[in-house]
Amino acid sequence: MRGHRTNLGETLMSTGVKYVYTFAEGSRGQSDLLGGKGANLAEMTNLGLPVPPGFTITTEACRSYMREGTEPDELRVQVTMALRHLEDDLGRRLGDRHDPLLVSVRSGAKFSMPGMMETVLNIGLNDASVKGLAEESGDERFAWDSYRRLLQMFGKTVLDIDGHTFEAEIDKAKKAKGVTNDVDLDVDDLKAIVAAYKQIIQSETGAEFPQHPREQLDQAIRAVFNSWNTDRARLYRRRERISNDLGTAVNVCTMVYGNLGATSGTGVAFTRDPATGTPGAYGDYLPNAQGEDVVAGIRNTLSLADLEELDPKSHADLMKVMRRLETHYRDLCDIEFTIERGKLWMLQTRVGKRTSAAAFRIAHQLIDEGLISKDEALMRVRGSDLNQLMFPQFDAKAPRTLVAKGLAASPGAAVGRAVFDSATAVRWADQGEEVILIRRETNPDDLGGMIASQGILTQRGGKTSHAAVVARGMGKTCVAGADALEVDSAKAQARSGDVLIKEGDVISIDGSTGEVFSGRVAVVPSPVATYLERGLEPALAQAGDDEATVALVTAVHELLEHADDSRRMAVRANADIAEDAKRARELGAQGIGLCRTEHMFLGDRRVLIERVVLADSDEEKQAALDALLPLQRQDFIELLETMDGLPVTIRLLDPPLHEFLPDLTKLSVKVAVAESKGGAEPEDLKLLAAVERLHEANPMLGMRGVRLGLHVPGLFALQVRAIAEASAHLIAAGKDPRPEIMVPLVGSVMELHLIKDEALGILAEVEAASGVEIHAPIGTMIELPRAALTAHRIADAAEFFSFGTNDLTQTTWGFSRDDVEGEFFPTYFDKGVLVVSPFETVDADGVGRLVKIAVEEGRATRPGIKLGVCGEHGGDPESIHFFHHAGLDYVSCSPWRVPVARLEAGRAALGAATISGTA
């Protein structure tokens, strides 16, 4: 065999670019070329596991097809050569009328995209070969069942006929016979269905179903290529941040049959429970079925324990294979298998998708079992996993009314209004409604509704159904297989016993128990949130005797501690008041990276700022400043005391001038109305004139930040004095305040010099008056491209840089964030201009380059300069990896994102980073 395979490789290479690899030629390290499925089929083949022979068409062939609009010339020849070698090895011909070789055609991209692309089984069957299959197998029903499956899959996948058209036909046949399951249809029923399916294809396409096996194969290959760019596939990739340029491989695999009677079947298994992380094999099995039946959720499945009773030998063989694969991959493995008359065949394996809870538990288990190191375990959990675990769960003491119970397919507590189709879910969610999508079973076309929903509830399917797998991948709550429900999508309702759930009714679903409740059930903090806020002991007390929760909290604790031990960057929080600072400190923040002082001037204080700006005399302005000083001083005393011993970066006033003034439109209307009634008040006329004089066409690029501080003398001085006096007060009380004064929107080093000189004078005054030494470094935000490009000069005055990536992104791209995200970003995503919003994940190529320039040039001027980021990017997992590699000293984010940032900073230090970019 080895020599034979080498000859095939040489033959394929002789035609030019090699587009086709047999399963024996590849390995799991070639997922870029062979896709995840093809690479893992090759890996299992090389391990000597029972894999049906076949070959993989590479992702490069797909990319060529997408570029040129047609297959590469060499591809047809290479497929022919691979197919002939396969036929020679097996002694059968594709679609032969006596003993036909049949194949499956399945997609397989580099990254798993469950249910997003296409599969066609039983390629090679036609009116003649179905008889040969019946004769060879000795089972006429099996042959005609396989033929109707081909027609249904080919019609839906290749010919783009609505799948419900075929489903309606088979449902009609079952209803006429008085049965509910496909397996209860006999051979005559199936022959009639085949004839009906062929008629559907004829009427829908104007052409007959292709009888030539090679034509079937070629059309199926093209369909898989085309499936890469379906709306649902693009939507999935956008959500998962997968590049649109990768393409998919195509796997052509010899058919093995799970629908050959009671001794055959098909299943999906996991080496550990992907929902909870509980050790032990877990999966679904359907006797007398083909692979798509399990994932589609058409019938409720049996467990692997049931398989052990039905077929002990095949079960034992499966357990051996699963253990070997988990040992080989050193991770949770997701496995698809078929049993054909007592013979086990492996159809796929991959590192399995899992819930957030399972990710932490499994990583922790594998450390204890000696399969992976702590560093490897940390690389296998993500900030998004930790974020998911911080969500609330249902209160066990809250009243509730159980209406149904299904399988706990993806954990979490979800509450929302019932909807029964994907389009309604999207529409209602866009209107601000929280919804639960209820379906008999989901299919890939439901992806939009699944994303829009708080949770998913299905009548049919198991833990490996489409709904369950996709929900787990997205971190959505899911209850599957709630067979007490009778879902009627046409009437937009579901019934469970005497309970009727109509569209718009509020329901609650618990993805951890599989329970479905009518109405709204109260929620409480999760044990993981309790741990992060209050510590390990309170969280374990909350978990009580629940072993799974205890294991989860322990896993989060140990892996987060390891992240803290591993990371180089500090993690600070953005907080403006003492209460937020207290929470940030509890969550592990090592300081405040951004205190927005403008938030301290809301309410009654806004009038005082207005007086400072609009004052007619120095005396009037000073009176307003004097009134503000004690208020600001107390703000800073509370904040610095809460963060005692940790740095607190205080940004001087930054917002545009108009935010401190009356609204021009409202004031104009007020004056106009007053004048129409006999005359406006002189004060209002005076105020309107001042507001009109100060009005700006583009205030975000106008009088704000350092410009406001220079234009309105005394304003920044007030804040610096309040910081200094608050620090002196705390030092005298034996505290350790560590303020850092940050000047916003600097574009020229001269701006910073002017403000810094004034600030140093004020600090010296307060030191002299109080008799204490105040250490308050003065630095700036880098939020303008010019600031980044002149960082070598600005660092001459700045003792620290903090990158304000929100404004730096706006000014680099020329975007107004409030406008573009709802206006044209969706178009940019669809057309591939953007993979992800640059306001969500830092634009590494543009904004990121400015950051790197500023880091390099700032340190060249001032080697010890402290560098951080305080935009919301500081809490984004991908951006944190970028900032680590760019050399920043810390990231700062909202308090609730601090644990996520701690985890990701640890992962970044271990080299787990990849950064998305733009086209």
Instruction: Give the number of other Cβ atoms within 10 Å of residue 607's Cβ.
Output: 12
**DSSP at 300:** P
* 478 classed as catalytic: no
Q: How many CA atoms lie within 13 A of 380 on its CB side?
A: 28
Residue 758 CA: distances (Å) to CA of 174, 709, 719, 721:
86, 11, 12, 10
3-class SS of residue 842: coil
Nearest to 102 by CA among 290, 336, 238, 249: 290
- Structure token pair of residue 237: 């990739």
Residues 733, 750: Cα–Cα separation, whole Å: 37
Q: Where are the beta strands (DSSP E) in 2-66?
A: 20-22, 54-57
Question: In this structure, which amino acid lies at residue 173?
Answer: A
- Structure token pair of residue 548: 């799974």
| 164 Cβ contact list (under 8 Å, min separation 6) | none
Contact 712, 622 (CB under 8 A): no
Contact 750, 713 (CB under 8 A): no
Q: Where are the beta strands (DSSP E) in 483-641?
A: 486-488, 493-496, 499-502, 506-510, 515-518, 523-524, 570-574, 592-596
CA 582 to mean position of chain CA atoms: 30
- Structure token pair of residue 27: 């390995």
3-class SS of residue 93: coil
Residues 350, 887: Cα–Cα separation, whole Å: 35
Question: In this structure, which amino acid lies at residue 555?
Answer: A
Of the residues 315, 364, 466, 658, only one is catalytic, namely 466
The secondary structure element, H or E, covering residue 658 is none
Contact 779, 817 (CB under 8 A): no
Sheet holding 515-518, edge to edge: 401-405, 515-518, 506-510, 413-419, 435-439, 455-458, 477-480, 407-410
H helix and E strand count, the chain: 38, 31
Residues 453, 437: Cα–Cα separation, whole Å: 6
| 416 Cβ contact list (under 8 Å, min separation 6) | 433, 434, 435, 436, 453, 454, 455, 506, 507
Pairing between strand 506-510 and 413-419? antiparallel
The secondary structure element, H or E, covering residue 166 is helix 163-177
Residues 299, 478: Cα–Cα separation, whole Å: 18
* 884 classed as catalytic: no
Report how far apart the first and last C-alpha atoms of the chain are (Å, whole number).
Answer: 45
Residues 595, 576: Cα–Cα separation, whole Å: 5
Contact 108, 62 (CB under 8 A): no
Contact 216, 83 (CB under 8 A): no
Contact 590, 646 (CB under 8 A): yes
Catalytic residues: 466, 870
